Amino acid sequence: MPTNTLLFLSAAAAVLSAIAWVRASYQARQQTRHMKRRLGIKSRWDDAFEIDDEQLLDPTTEVPERRSMVLFIGDIFDASQRGKDLAAKLKAADLKFKPSEALGLVVVIGLVSYILVELLLTQGPFISTCLAILCALTVPWLLLRSRRDRRLLNFTRQLPMVAELMANALRAGMSLQGALELVAREIGDPASEEFSLVVREVRLGGSIDDSLEALEKRMPSADLEVMVTALKVQRIAGGNLIKSMGALSQTLIERQRTQEEIKTMMAEPKFTSYLMPILSIGALALLNRTIPHFLDVLFWTIPGLIVLTVFILMQIGGFLLIQRFARVKI
């Protein structure tokens, strides 16, 4: 059977497996939600499958079907420490995946990467496997970081409105905790979600300072650090907190306006830093498809490996250098 046919069948099998896995995971989630609503269980999601004798005797109670081994293994990973750490990262990136689902997507990315590399470079299973593992480790990390940075940027853009709303609430006679509750209700996500956590921690007995410090750790923003520092100083030393919040709102607006101007000016260099490696790798892949065994000398000879190593290092160095110059902090 030709190699291209085998690769096509492998790709089709990988896609069908991914679709079946996502469908099974979705059905399990729907089944869990349904059982929670029917049985009134408010504990963790896996408690939805614990049914007592009286409920079993009730003909209106629906008993869940046995779950697949894949989902069972996924549950074990979700409950592990690595799964919990990954869940925190997914939450910071505002992704509604379970850790096991994210791990499954990494496996699918690795399989698809292997097939694409084998089709484009045709350098054998060893090279394709190494590059596929590299893609499976880097691509999800880059996507996760991009989502996290986007959520952090949206949160930072909301901080001037947060400061202004807090100033108005304090001016109306509300306490600081009441102002935080108002922010959690009125501001949209992601600020609403984060300040809701602050309010919940305070209601459970935590101090406002500790809750704000936890918010700083979850959302590492320079603007948020300025706001939290101002709140702490005013609470300790006293002063006009209303005036401070109003002035802080204007300061953050001017700061963000300056940052947007800098971002606009640096958009072209950043785009160039991404375009350079893509064009280089694309040109190599195109030449290899046009001229058979074009890349053999790079992957299977000592001088070729040296040239390939220098090429990769120069691409990485150029990317990091442009990114460093384009990153202007104010």
What is the full DSSP assignment across 3-37? HHHHHHHHHHHHHHHHHHHHHHHHHHHHHHHHHHH
Residue-wise pLDDT for 137-147, tens only, equals 888 888 888 88
**Cβ-count burial of 54 within 10 angstroms (0-12 exposed, 13-18 middle, 19+ buried)?**
exposed
Structure tokens at 275: 């375009």
Query: Is 10 in the same domain as 71?
Result: yes
Residue type for position 72: F
pLDDT at 129: 86
Last residue of a domain, one of 233, 257, 281: 257
Query: Is 275 in the same domain as 166?
Result: no
Query: Is 280 in the same domain as 145?
Result: no
Query: Is 104 in the same domain as 188?
Result: no
pLDDT cut 70: percent of the chain above it: 77
pLDDT at 52: 47
Q: Which domain holds residue 161?
A: 152-257
How far apart are alpha carbons 117 and 145 in whole angstroms? 24
Residue 51 has pLDDT above 70, yes or no: no
Q: pLDDT confidence of 113, banded at 50, 70, 90?
A: confident
Q: pLDDT confidence of 35, banded at 50, 70, 90?
A: low
Query: Is 111 in the same domain as 45?
Result: yes
Query: Is 145 in the same domain as 163?
Result: no
Q: pLDDT confidence of 43, banded at 50, 70, 90?
A: very low
What is the radius of gyration, based on Cα positions, of the chain?
Answer: 26
Structure tokens at 208: 């406002």
pLDDT at 134: 85
Element (DSSP H or E) covering residue 96: none
Q: Residue range 162-175: average pLDDT? A: 86
Task: Confirm whether 262 is domain-assigned.
Answer: no
Domain count, the chain: 3
Element (DSSP H or E) covering residue 328: none
pLDDT at 49: 41
Residue 264, helix vs strand vs coil = helix
Query: Is 102 in the same domain as 192?
Result: no
User: Which residues, other chains included, contact 108 with Cβ-Cβ below 8 Å and sequence gap of 6+?
Assistant: 14, 17, 18
Query: Is 88 in the same domain as 156?
Result: no
Q: pLDDT confidence of 281, banded at 50, 70, 90?
A: confident
Q: Residue range 184-197: average pLDDT? A: 86
Q: pLDDT confidence of 55, banded at 50, 70, 90?
A: very low
Task: Confirm whether 232 is domain-assigned.
Answer: yes
Residue 57 has pLDDT above 70, yes or no: no
The CA-based angle 95-181-212, given to 5 degrees, is: 65
Instruction: CATH number of the domain at 212, please.
Output: 1.20.81.30
Task: Confirm whether 320 is domain-assigned.
Answer: yes
Query: Is 168 in the same domain as 68?
Result: no
How far apart are alpha carbons 187 and 146 in whole angstroms? 23
pLDDT at 47: 44
CB 326 within 8 A of CB 269: yes
How far apart are alpha carbons 269 and 271 in whole angstroms? 5
Residue 185 has pLDDT above 50, yes or no: yes
Residue-wise pLDDT for 213-266, tens only, equals 888 888 888 888 888 888 888 777 777 788 888 888 888 888 888 888 888 888
Question: How do the residues of the chain divide into helix, strand and coil, expressed in percent and rounded to 5?
Answer: 80, 0, 20
Query: Is 191 in the same domain as 137?
Result: no
Task: Confirm whether 84 is domain-assigned.
Answer: yes
Task: Confirm whether 321 is domain-assigned.
Answer: yes
